[in-house]
Amino acid sequence: MSKDSPFPYDPIPTVRGPVAAADLGVTLAHEHLFVLSAEFQSNFPHLWDREAGVREAVRQLDEAYAAGVRTLVDMTVLGQGRDIALINAVAERTPVNIVLATGVYSVDGIPLFARFRGPGAAVEAEDPLIELLLRDVTRGIADSGVRAGLVKFACERTPPDAAAHRMAACVAEVHRRTGVPVVVHCDPFEGNGVALVRLLEKEGVPAGSVVVAHAGDSADLDGLRALADTGCVLGYDRYGMTPFAPDEQRNATLAALVRAGHTAQLLVSQDHPVHIDYLTDEQRRGLYPHWSYVHLFERVLPLLLKEPGVDEETVRTLLVDNPRRLLTRVAAPRPSGSHPEVSDAA
Ligand SMILES: [Zn+2]
């Protein structure tokens, strides 16, 4: 921690080394470098050219830097092929600071590695995931010395199932011991966000330290307001994934939340990977033609600034202040609780 910093946790660990909170600048709080099916990649190396992937990542990050981005959070965790050697190869060739996450992409439940041992499992034991995730945050990922700055899990079940309960207890322990914020990939369409926040609160994570990732995919403004009223942070973090929600819809509900006093609880990002092996690059471009690290700057923010109640200061809060508070491990401020005029958004 830096003595002179107004932030309680400063500097922030990034792949290239610690960066002062004051220097994080414009931060994309939920993106990816590479999302890979690790076992397919290692057994079928002809599937993807790693060197070309690194070069393309550097090119895309340079483009983001030119658009003003100074820091990017790579939310790729276990189950999504996080690969520290690949990340390092990119980080040493780009000026953009890269912050890493730990956690488990638990959409299909507890990974087999830990499914049969742990609380409630066949072999009743301490959850082996806790020690691993803590190690990432306190000692660093593998032997890289790069420490993770956030802890994530995923739950698309409504209501959250037993695996989500176990993951919530696991990440809550990591949060209690380190202060890292918790990011939970939710199901925005069924709307399990409030239940996930309550589950984490029960485990001792204050709502202000919880990011409900992908919340902004929802078209249900009442549901989004109920989620914001819990005090959590809402991820408007999939701009450009238009099949889930068009930019205009995301902007309309985001602006309504801004007008209702929730600006400090909102993050904007794109969830964009340079390469994701779930689709060929051509298939992906067909589905998400505008998806990139710079879609926000090229299209979304100019449109957002036309929304009543949104100005340049709002955008600075979304892209600089809110991510910095998150990464310095400060909970979001409680919402004021009043809702003046919010009925005009889609
Ligand atoms: Zn993501």
286 lies in some domain: yes
CA of 104 to the centre of ligand 1 (A): 12
What is the model's pLDDT at position 1? 56
Q: How far is the CA of 32 from the centre of ligand 1 (A)?
A: 6
Distance 327 CA to ligand 1 centre (A): 17
On whether residue 90 sits in a domain, the answer given is yes
**Into how many domains does the chain fold?**
1
Q: 239 C-alpha to center of ligand 1: Å?
A: 12
Residue 9 maps to a domain = no
Residue 149: C-alpha distances to residues 134, 146, 205, 323, 342 (Å): 11, 10, 16, 12, 34
* Interior/surface letters 265-296, b for 16+ CB within 10 angstroms, e for the rest: bbbbbbbbbbbbbeeeeeeeeeebebbbbbbb
Quote the domain boundaries for residue 101: 21-327
Residue 40 lies in a domain: yes
Report, as ranges of residue numbers, the positions in the chain whose pLDDT lies below 50. Answer: 338, 340-346
pLDDT at 2: 63
The predicted-structure confidence for 23-33, as pLDDT tens digits, reads as follows 999 999 999 99
Domain-embedded: residue 284: yes
Distance 237 CA to ligand 1 centre (A): 8
Give the model's pLDDT for residue 337.
57
6 C-alpha to center of ligand 1: Å? Answer: 30
Contact 311, 218 (CB under 8 A): no
Longest dimension (CA), the chain: 57
Q: Which residue has the tokens 């032997």?
A: 143
Q: Ligand 1: distance of its center to the CA of 122 in Å?
A: 31
d(C-alpha 208, C-alpha 136), whole Å: 23
Q: 277 C-alpha to center of ligand 1: Å?
A: 14
Residue 114 belongs to domain with CATH number = 3.20.20.140
Residue 341: inside a domain:
no
Instruction: Give residue-wise pLDDT tens across range 86-129.
Output: 999 999 999 999 999 999 999 999 999 999 999 999 999 999 99
13 belongs to a structural domain:
no
